[in-house]
Amino acid sequence: MTEVLRIWPQAGVPGSLIIIECRGFDASDYAACDVLFGETPGRIVGASPDRLLVAVPDELTERDRFTGVQLVSAGKTSARVPFFVAERLAENLHPVANPAYDPETGAIFTTISGARGKKVEVSVWRIGPDGKAAPFLDNIMNPTGMTVDREGTLYITSRHDGTLYRVSPFREVVPFAENLGIATGLAIDRSGNLFVGDRQGTIYRVTPLGDVTPHARLEPSMAAYHLAFAPDGNLYVTAPTAAGTREAIYRVTPMGKVEPWFVGLGRPQGLAFDQAGNAYVCASLDGLRGVIKITPDAQEAELFIAGMRLVGLVFDDKGTVILASNHEIYRVSLGVVGYDPNRA
């Protein structure tokens, strides 16, 4: 009898690698082995009687994304076990940080950030609740960090000119704060203050009136700063370096004190929190990459969603996580409600 004991993690984007722990899988005849996602076979990367490494298929029907996983070997078939494959909403993009979600309209905002100093035809895209992407802005070069305030105003950093832009619901774009260095990460606190990460080593605080002050100092990043607030009121930051698999998530207090919060990730990038205070970060852990879930006490971490090229994420208010790779936007409903300081 072939039996699936555990799938780790229980969700993934197309093309990602997952581990299936099983019993009785006959790997002696490779041609007679299959791992079915619905009716679509995944690619078996490695197999033994009790463990499989499998790539999630790149193309799945809507039905197959929710049908679950089933093992086939030597004429024996296992029962189906739940597994959730993320839906691809848009492609041919270039996000480099978290997308933004507007709870009032259900819209998702993301970017074609492009090479620094290079203008693209459309730099900001809007994805409606129906999952359809449409051009939104063409006049911000190298858009990077994004967030939406409680009034539905979109804010965007430009790493090209070091400016924080404010975008009205009518697409009016105005500079809100300037001289912010290589402005990348962006987050908003409960009071409406915006925090901008200059990857050269400074986190700036921008008040609702546009006044700018340095808030904290970190080591420079080779890529970008990624910022998110947690329910505890602290700001959390990732800043990829060349430290391999020992990189950290940093905690920044309201007074600007910086300390490592969790250490042991590979190239951590975009992050977000749920209402219980769990952190979710795009990184690698123990050789597998995707979204890593970390408990509020920073004592436990596990792969939550598999994904090879994920750079950012945001939760909507309906239990869905929206994922950004360096080319695509995905969504998958996992029943996790994110923490939003605007509505805390």
**Cα(175)–Cα(196) distance, rounded to whole angstroms?**
14
Q: How far is CA 50 from CA 20, 147, 223, in A?
A: 8, 44, 39
Q: So where are the chain's domains?
A: 3-85, 88-343
Let me know: does 273 contact 280? Beta carbons within 8 Å. yes
**Cα(341)–Cα(25) distance, rounded to whole angstroms?**
47
The domain defined by 88-343 carries CATH number 3.30.300.210: no
pLDDT digit of tens for each residue in the chain (344 aa)? Answer: 789 999 999 999 999 999 999 999 998 888 889 999 999 999 999 999 999 999 999 988 888 888 899 999 988 999 999 999 999 999 999 999 999 999 999 999 999 998 888 889 999 999 999 999 999 999 999 999 999 999 999 999 999 999 999 998 789 999 999 999 999 999 999 999 999 999 999 999 999 999 999 999 998 888 789 999 999 999 999 998 876 778 999 999 999 999 999 999 999 999 999 999 999 999 999 888 999 999 999 999 999 999 999 999 999 989 999 999 999 999 999 999 999 998 87
Q: Given this structure, which CATH class describes domain 3-85? A: mainly beta
Let me know: does 288 contact 320? Beta carbons within 8 Å. no
**Cα(92)–Cα(192) distance, rounded to whole angstroms?**
33
Region for 179 from its dihedrals, namely left if φ exceeds 0, alpha if ψ lies in -120 to 50, beta otherwise? left
